[in-house]
Amino acid sequence: MLVHAEVDGQRLEEHEIVMGFFLLVAAGNDSTKATYCSAMRALMEHPEERRKLLDDPSLIPSAVEESLRMFPAFAHFRRTATRDVELNGKKIRAGDKVAMWYVSSNRDETRYEDPDRFDVTRNPEHQAFGAGGRHYCLGAALARLELRILIEETLKRYPRMELAGKPVYAESPFINQLKTLPVRLDP
């Protein structure tokens, strides 16, 4: 559809199509890796949650959703308001810049009971992938599938995996990702 799409009689040029595919590949690789690493860290730090998945692998899809909620790969995105609106008593005018803080909205106490607790049975609605809006991630279904398989296979092969050092986060105001996660696979 992207290759054949027309807007106002114009089609994308070859370099625009190629760069679009590069963007899709890079964005999906980085964000999926980030969520996977943080999910595995949480499972190692919360052995009772890992035990739930080992005992009942059918919970893995809800663990994926909980991981997406708790560990968004990006801290925030900025958008431009297209119309005047009032949100929680705050007026936002068309043209205003608005930042969506995923790490905050996905832990909103008015939406989630005990929002800082990692719970593989929660299966929450969350803001990951753009929350179904205009900027919804084209790779959301693939990312969910990849995360499900990665978690499933890691637990199957390394059910006793444990931390082997201090995890370090990447230093960035934009990304919310681990830089290193030292583990011992088969203690």
DSSP conformation letters of the chain: -TTT-EETTEE--HHHHHHHHHHHHHHHHHHHHHHHHHHHHHHHH-HHHHHHHHH-GGGHHHHHHHHHHHS-SBSEEEEE-SS-EEETTEEE-TT-EEEEEHHHHTT-TTTSSSTTS--TT------GGGTTSTT--TTHHHHHHHHHHHHHHHHHH-TT-EE-S--EE---SSB--EEE--EES--
- What's residue 65's pLDDT? 94
- What's residue 5's pLDDT? 82
Taking the model in full, what pTM does it have?
0.83
Q: How far apart are CA 178 and CA 63, in angstroms?
A: 19
Q: Which two tokens stand for residue 153?
A: 């296979």
Q: Can you state the angle between helices 60-70 and 140-157, rounded to 10 degrees?
A: 110
Q: Can you state the angle between helices 14-45 and 60-70, rounded to 10 degrees?
A: 100
- What's residue 78's pLDDT? 86
- What's residue 18's pLDDT? 87
- φ, ψ for residue 86 (rounded to 5)? -115, 130
- What's residue 16's pLDDT? 86
- What's residue 187's pLDDT? 66
Altogether, the residues listed in the chain come to a count of 187
Q: Which segments of the chain have a pLDDT < 50?
A: none
In this predicted model, what pLDDT tens digit does every residue of 174-187 receive, in sequence order? 778 899 999 999 86
Q: Which two tokens stand for residue 1?
A: 């559809």
- What's residue 132's pLDDT? 64
- What's residue 179's pLDDT? 92
- What's residue 180's pLDDT? 94
